[in-house]
Amino acid sequence: MLPRTHRRSLRARLVLCSALSWPAAAAFGNGVADAGEPTAEGRDPEDGTDRCVAAFDGAQEARGEGALKASREALRICADLTCPSPIRAKCVPWLEEVELALPTVVLAALSSDGRDLTDVTVSLNGEVLAASLDGRAIPLDPGLSRLRFERLGAEPVELELLVKAGEKNRLVTARFPSLEPIVPEPSPEPSPEPAPQIPPPRPRDPEGEVAGLSPFVYVGYGLAAVGLGTGAATAGVAYARYDDVKARCDGPTGCTADDIDAAERISHVATASFVVAGAGALLGTVALILSLPSDDDKRSLAVAMAPSSFALRGRF
Is pLDDT of 96 > 80? yes
Residue 82 included in any domain: yes
| Beta strand 104-110 pairing with 170-175 | parallel
Most confident among 88-102, 184-198, 200-214, 289-303 (mean pLDDT): 88-102
Report the distance separating Cα 135 and Cα 137, nearest Å.
Answer: 7
Q: Are 128 and 79 members of one domain?
A: no
Closest CA to 105 of 75, 141, 157: 141
Q: Are 284 and 226 members of one domain?
A: yes
User: What is the pLDDT averaged over residues 144-165?
Assistant: 94
Q: 95: how many CB neighbours lie within 10 A of its CB?
A: 20
Percent of the chain scored above 90 by pLDDT?
A: 39
| pLDDT at residue number 198 | 73
Closest CA to 11 of 57, 49, 73, 45: 57
Residue 253 included in any domain: yes
Is pLDDT of 295 > 50? yes
Is pLDDT of 17 > 70? no
Q: Are 97 and 108 members of one domain?
A: no
The parent domain of residue 54 ranges over: 4-16+44-101
User: What is the pLDDT averaged over residues 179-187?
Assistant: 62
Burial (Cβ within 10 Å: 0-12, 13-18, ≥19) of residue 109: buried
Report the distance separating Cα 106 and Cα 95, nearest Å.
Answer: 22
Bigger pLDDT: 255 vs 97: 97
Is pLDDT of 311 > 60? yes
Which of 175, 198, 221 corresponds to the end of one domain?
A: 175
Total domain count for the chain? 3
Q: Where are the alpha helices (DSSP H) in 171-214?
A: 206-211
Q: Are 217 and 240 members of one domain?
A: yes
For 203-241, the pLDDT digits (tens) are: 655 554 445 677 777 776 787 788 778 878 877 777 777
Q: Are 232 and 216 members of one domain?
A: yes
Q: Are 164 and 250 members of one domain?
A: no
Mean pLDDT of the chain: 76
Q: Are 159 and 236 members of one domain?
A: no
Q: How confident is the model at residue 154 (pLDDT cuts 50, 70, 90)?
A: very high
Q: Are 221 and 238 members of one domain?
A: yes
Is pLDDT of 247 > 60? yes
Non-local CB neighbours of 26 within 8 Å, separated by 6+ positions = none
Residue 222 included in any domain: yes
Q: How confident is the model at residue 289 (pLDDT cuts 50, 70, 90)?
A: confident
| pLDDT at residue number 139 | 96
| pLDDT at residue number 47 | 54
User: What is the pLDDT averaged over residues 149-176?
Assistant: 95
| pLDDT at residue number 236 | 79
Q: Kindly report the pTM of this predicted structure.
A: 0.45
Is pLDDT of 271 > 70? yes
State residue 163 phi and psi, 5-degree precision: -90, 125
| pLDDT at residue number 23 | 42
Q: Are 235 and 283 members of one domain?
A: yes
Residue 188 included in any domain: no
Q: Are 95 and 125 members of one domain?
A: no
Which of 175, 200, 230 corresponds to the end of one domain?
A: 175
The CATH number that applies at residue 149 is 2.60.40.1120
For 29-55, the pLDDT digits (tens) are: 333 333 333 443 444 545 578 999 999
Contact, 73 vs 141, CB < 8 A?
no
Which of 175, 200, 217 corresponds to the end of one domain?
A: 175
User: What is the pLDDT averaged over residues 298-305?
Assistant: 60
| pLDDT at residue number 79 | 95
Residue 254 included in any domain: yes
Report the distance separating Cα 91 and Cα 272, nearest Å.
Answer: 148
| pLDDT at residue number 172 | 96
Report the distance separating Cα 116 and Cα 108, nearest Å.
Answer: 7
Q: Are 301 and 226 members of one domain?
A: yes
Report the distance separating Cα 80 and Cα 78, nearest Å.
Answer: 5
Q: Are 309 and 217 members of one domain?
A: yes
Contact, 137 vs 168, CB < 8 A?
yes
Residue 36 included in any domain: no
Comparing 82-96, 100-114, 263-277, which segment has the lowest mean pLDDT?
Answer: 263-277
